[in-house]
């Protein structure tokens, strides 16, 4: 394991610095680029061609799911490890659908991140122990998250709608037309059985897509 060039994507500089130090203590690991948003992550990937991307999902504007999908569209061989606070199995499944190769929660031990990074670089899949346990439990219990009804792009649009962004702003962020965003919006409400936008926001909060204290409370 030598010469592993890493793109680190997280919107908190102090947190990135901590992860950088952790990763660069490993022989041959070096962080060659950093990004705070999905758009920056895409540009940094094209500019630096890293061996591995370590990506948070909770980014300002479009989430890490959008960044994962965009990078994989440009480079189908990109190796992306999601490292996030989102602990639900449904989020992990959506990340894999979008093109991630691994999913580790930030509540995991540092060794879990290093182990998963090595697996993803090798071409394997990786999940942290807590997510593996939750995935197994959901299969045994027959539980389904409402996010499972949605495609990764729909999850992205739902998160932005529920966070208070207007249709035009979402369209600009995702490089889609306002009409397309409206169609996604209506389709999501239909799939989830949301009575109105307020109900849709409540469902997004319940799924952990947005925090109750976010700007959606004013919409």
Mean of the pLDDT values across residues 111-124?
95
Lowest mean pLDDT among 2-16, 17-31, 40-54, 85-99: 85-99
Structural domain of 115: 4-140
What whole-number percentage of the chain has pLDDT above 70? 90
Q: Are residues 178 and 131 in the same domain?
A: no
pLDDT of 81 higher than 80: yes
Q: Are residues 25 and 117 in the same domain?
A: yes
Q: Are residues 61 and 118 in the same domain?
A: yes
- Where a domain ends, among 108, 140, 172? 140
**CATH number for position 173:** 1.10.10.10
pLDDT of 216 higher than 60: no
Q: Are residues 118 and 204 in the same domain?
A: no
Return the structure tokens found at 210: 């947005």
Cα(206)–Cα(209) distance, rounded to whole angstroms? 8
pLDDT of 173 higher than 60: yes
Q: Are residues 131 and 160 in the same domain?
A: no
- Where a domain ends, among 112, 140, 168? 140
Looking at residue 127, its pLDDT comes to 92
Between the CA of residue 120 and those of 1, 22, 178, what are the distances in Å? 12, 17, 36
For the residues of the chain, what is the DSSP string, one character each? ---EEEEEE-S-HHHHHHHHHHHHTSTTEEEEEEESSHHHHHHHHHHH--SEEEE-S--SSS-HHHHHHHHHHH-TT--EEEEES---HHHHHHHHHHT-SEEEETTS-HHHHHHHHHHHHTT--EE-HHHHHHHHHHHHHT---GGGGS-HHHHHHHHHHHTT--HHHHHHHHT--HHHHHHHHHHHHHHHT-SSHHHHHHHHHHTTSS-TTSGGGG-
Q: Are residues 119 and 164 in the same domain?
A: no
Q: Are residues 125 and 206 in the same domain?
A: no
Q: Are residues 94 and 179 in the same domain?
A: no
Q: Are residues 74 and 162 in the same domain?
A: no
Q: Are residues 96 and 53 in the same domain?
A: yes
Q: Read off the pLDDT of residues 175-214 as tens digits, 9 standing for 90 and up.
A: 889 999 999 999 999 988 888 888 988 888 877 777 665 4
pLDDT of 134 higher than 90: no
Stronger pLDDT, 136 or 81, i.e. the higher one: 81
Q: Are residues 175 and 194 in the same domain?
A: yes
How many CB atoms within 10 Å of residue 50?
22
**CATH number for position 78:** 3.40.50.2300
Looking at residue 140, its pLDDT comes to 64
- Where a domain ends, among 100, 118, 140? 140
Cα(22)–Cα(78) distance, rounded to whole angstroms? 22
Structural domain count, the chain? 2
Q: Are residues 162 and 127 in the same domain?
A: no
């Amino acid at each position: 394991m030598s010469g592993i060039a890493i793109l680190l994507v997280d919107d908190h500089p102090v947190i990135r610095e901590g992860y950088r130090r952790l990763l660069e203590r490993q022989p041959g690991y070096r962080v060659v680029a950093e990004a705070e948003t999905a758009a920056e992550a895409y540009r940094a990937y094209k500019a630096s061609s890293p061996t591995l991307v370590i990506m948070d999902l909770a980014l300002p504007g479009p989430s890490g799911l959008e960044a994962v999908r965009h990078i994989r569209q440009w480079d189908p061989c990109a190796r992306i490890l999601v490292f996030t606070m989102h602990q639900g199995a449904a989020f992990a499944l959506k990340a894999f659908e979008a093109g991630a190769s691994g999913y580790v929660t930030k509540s995991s031990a540092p060794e879990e991140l290093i182990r998963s990074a090595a697996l993803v670089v090798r071409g394997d899949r990786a999940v942290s122990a807590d997510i593996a346990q939750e995935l197994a439990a959901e299969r045994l219990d027959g539980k389904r998250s409402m996010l499972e009804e949605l495609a990764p792009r729909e999850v992205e649009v739902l998160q932005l709608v529920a966070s208070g962004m207007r249709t035009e702003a979402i369209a600009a962020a995702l490089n889609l037309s306002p009409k397309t965003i409206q169609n996604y919006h209506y389709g999501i409400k239909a799939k989830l059985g949301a009575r109105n936008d307020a109900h849709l926001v409540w469902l997004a909060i319940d799924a952990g897509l947005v925090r109750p204290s976010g700007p959606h409370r004013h919409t």
